Amino acid sequence: MNKSQAKNRIKKLREEIARLRFQYHVEDNPNVTDDIYDSLNQELKLILKEYPEFIDPNAPENRVGGKPLDKFKKVKHEVRMLSINDAFSFPEVTDWENRISKIIGSLPAGKAGPASYNYFCELKLDGLSASLIYKDGIFVEGSTRGDGFIGEDVTENLKMISTIPLKLKSPYPSYLEVRGEVVMAKRAWNALNKKQEKENKPLFANTRNAAAGSLRQLDPQIVKERNLDFFAWDLIQLRIKNEEPASTQGGLIIKNHSDKHDLLRKLGFQVAPYEKKAKNLDEVFDFIKEIEKIRPNLPYGTDGIVVAVDELALEERLGVVGKAPRYIVAYKYQAERATTIVKDITVNVGRTGVLTPVAHFNPTLVAGSTVSKATLHNIDQINRLDLRIGDTVVIQKAGDVIPEVVQVLTNMRTGKEKKFKMPSVCPVCNAKVEKKEAASKQSSSLQGPRTREERGQTIANRTLLAGRNNTKSVAFYCTNKNCPAKNRRGMQHFVNIFEIYEVGPKILDRLKDEGLISDSADLFTLEKADLSGLERFGEKSADNIISSIQLHKKIPLWRFIYAMGIIHVGEQTAHDLADHFGSLTKLSEASISEINSIENIGPVVSQSIFEFFRSSASLGFMDKLFANGVNVYHEENKSKKFTGKSFVLTGTLSTMSREEAKKKIIENGGSVSSSVSIKTSYVIAGENPGSKYTDAQKLGVKIISEKEFLRMI
C-alpha cells in the first residue's frame, strides 16, 4: 500500500483497537477473541514499521489497560503497572534477544562470549492483573491495573479469593507489593455458565472475561461464589522498613526473577505451576514447545509464555520503551484466528457442479500456516456475514480444516467495499446456473461436514438451525452435465477414492489432452504402450501407473458409492448406504422412503441418491466401469461392538495413522465424524490434539487415549 493508504488504514486500525480495548479492559465484554485483537495489533505494528512517520506515543496501541470504572474507589499505583510486548514467532523472540544484548553489551549464558545473563520462563495466564499490598504481613489493599497509573480498589473482592493469603507466612517484610493474575479455572467457568444459562443470563465468552467480570462485582459474596484463583508473578516492592528497599529476606538473597518466585512461595502465594530457568533461547523454545503439547489440558487458560531476563540487576539498565519494559517479552501461541482484508471473491466449480465462492487475501499466517484463500461456502454464508470485497475479516483455520471466513469487522469499513453477487452463468463453461433449495436433518447437520461441499452446506444449515429452526438454504449449480470443471474434478475425486494415487491432476489432464480417455472408466482400458510413448512418461512411470490402476479394479461397495460423486453423499454416508443395502443392486432399486429411513440421511440426500440411480448418464457410466473390469464387493463388519457409536479423531496417533484408526472403527460397526457434537460417543486424542479436544471438554464428551481405543477393539 502507498503512504496515503497506510495512513487511512492506520487510522481505522487505531479506532478499532481503541474500541476493543475499552470493551476488553473497561466493560469486560469483548466481542472478539484475543487472537483477533492481537492480529489487528500485529498488522498495525507492521505498517508502522514500514511508515515510522505515523508512530504516535499517545496512540491507543501504546496505552496500558483501560480507564478505571467509576463504581470503585481509585488507587494510584506507586510503581506503574506496565504491559508486556508480544512476540508471535521464534524469530521475533530472537530479534528481542538481539536488541537487549546490544544494550547489555554481552550475550546470554548459553552463547559464545562473556556470559552475563539467563532467562526465566513462566506461563502467561489469561486473566485480570491485580496488585496486592501487605503491611506487617497483613493484606491491606488490592487493586486492578486500570490505566497503569490508577486502578480500582477491589480489596474486599480480592479477600474472597482463597488462594490470596490474608496473612503472610513468617518471616515477612514490613511492606510488600505483589502482582499477579486473577483467573478462573476452566471447570469453574463451565459451572458458572451452566448456572447463567439456567437463570437465563448471558454466558461468559471465556475464562478471562468471567474472571474480570466476577472481580468487579459490587457484592463480595458473589466473588466468593465464583471460585476465582490468584497466581503471583512478580514482587514489585519489598521493604524491611517502610522506606528502605530490602535485598534479603529471611536469609534469602534476591538477585533473580526466579528468586522472587521462590520467595513468593515461601510467603504463601500460589505461582504458575510451570516455569523454567534457561541458559539460551534454544532452551526457552524447548519449554514453549513442551507447554504447547499440554496446553489444552491445563486447568487454566493460557495463551503464551512469558520470557524474562532472570538477573534483576539488568532490568534497570534495559529500561522501559513505550508501555513495556525491555527485559521481558510474551511469546503468544499461534492463533487459530487472524484478521485480513478480502481483496477479491472468485467462484470455483466443484465436482458435483456446485458453485463455491472463495475469498482471496494477502498471505496471512494462521494456525501455523500461511494462507491466501478461504472458502465462503455459499451465498447464504456471505449474506449472513454481510461480507463485501474490501472488508476486514476474521479467518479461521484449525488443524487440517480448510480456512474459512467467520466474521466481518464492519467498524473497519471505509465505504469503498463492494457487494458480491453469484454469477448467473458458470465461470468455466458459461452454461446457465441454477439455484436449488438445500436442506438436511438436524442430526446430520450437527454431526459435522463429511466432504468440503457437504461442509459448506452444513455451515449454513447450522446457522439457520440455531437462529430459526429452518434447515433450508440455497446452493448454485452449473446445469451443464459435461462442464469441463465438473468432469475434471469428478475424475480426480474418482481416482482418489479408488486410491489410484499414481494418477494425479496433471496426468489426468495429459491423458485427456492426448485423447486417451474421456472419463474415469477409460482409465481401466489403458495399457503400458499407451503411456510409455508419451513425452516425459518413462517406462518406469508408465509401469507404476498401469499397475496402480489394475490393482484397484476390485473395490469395496462404500468406496464405489463415494467415488460416483453423488450430490450430498460423503464418505460416512457412503458407508451407511453400503452397510444398509449390502449390494449395489439393492441400493439402485431402493425407494426414496427406504433411503430416507437410514439414520442421519435426510430427504434432500435421499432424493439426490434416488435421482442418481435413475439417471441414464449415471447408469451408462457404471455399466462402462463394469465392462472394463471393475468389480464391486461388500464386506460385512467383522464386529458390531461399535454399532451406534460415533468417534472423532484428533492429534497424532503413535501406532497407526488416522485412516487406519478410521478403518478399525468402521470395521467394528462404528462411524467417524470430522467434528465434535453432543451426539459424539468418544473423542480419540493423540499427541498434540487440536480444538476438537477442547470442544469435547466443553460438551462433556468422553475423551479416550489411543491405548484405551486399542483395548476396546
**Rounded alpha-carbon distances, angstroms, from residue 343 to 9, 340, 360, 515, 528:** 14, 9, 6, 39, 46
Cell 447408469 locates to 619
Cell 475423551 locates to 703
Pair 325, 315: CB distance under 8 Å: yes
Q: Which of 3, 124, 260, 472 is catalytic?
A: 124
How far, rounded to the nearest angstrom, does the alpha carbon of residue 281 sit from its chain's CA centroid? 26
Cell numbers representing residue 571 in the block? 464418505
Q: Which residues contact 30 (CB under 8 A, 6 or more apart)?
A: 20, 23, 24, 37, 205, 209
**473: nearest Cα among 373, 348, 606, 354:** 354
Cell numbers representing residue 649 in the block? 479423531
> Residues 403-407: contacts with CB within 8 Å, 24+ apart?
403/366, 403/371, 403/373, 403/374, 403/375, 404/374, 404/375, 404/376, 404/377, 404/459, 405/342, 405/359, 405/374, 405/375, 405/376, 405/381, 406/337, 407/32, 407/36
**How does DSSP assign 176-187, residue by residue?**
EEEEEEEEE-HH
Pairwise CA distance, residues 34 & 338, whole Å: 10
Pairwise CA distance, residues 221 & 228, whole Å: 12
Pair 374, 403: CB distance under 8 Å: yes
Pair 636, 540: CB distance under 8 Å: no
Residue positions counted in the chain: 713
Angle at 694 between CA 688 and CA 697, to 5 degrees: 125
Pairwise CA distance, residues 164 & 144, whole Å: 14
Pair 28, 212: CB distance under 8 Å: yes
Cell numbers representing residue 315 in the block? 532490568
Phi, psi of 402 (to 5 degrees): -60, 135
Q: Which residues contact 590 (CB under 8 A, 6 or more apart)?
A: 581, 609, 610, 613
* Whether residue 645 lies in the annotated active site: no
**690: nearest Cα among 676, 672, 680, 671:** 676
- Cis peptide bond N-terminal to 296, omega within 30: no
Q: What is the DSSP letter of 333?
A: P
Q: Which amino acid is at 38?
A: D
Pair 665, 626: CB distance under 8 Å: no
Q: Which amino acid is at 210?
A: A
H or E segment and range at residue 587: helix 584-589
Catalytic residues: 124
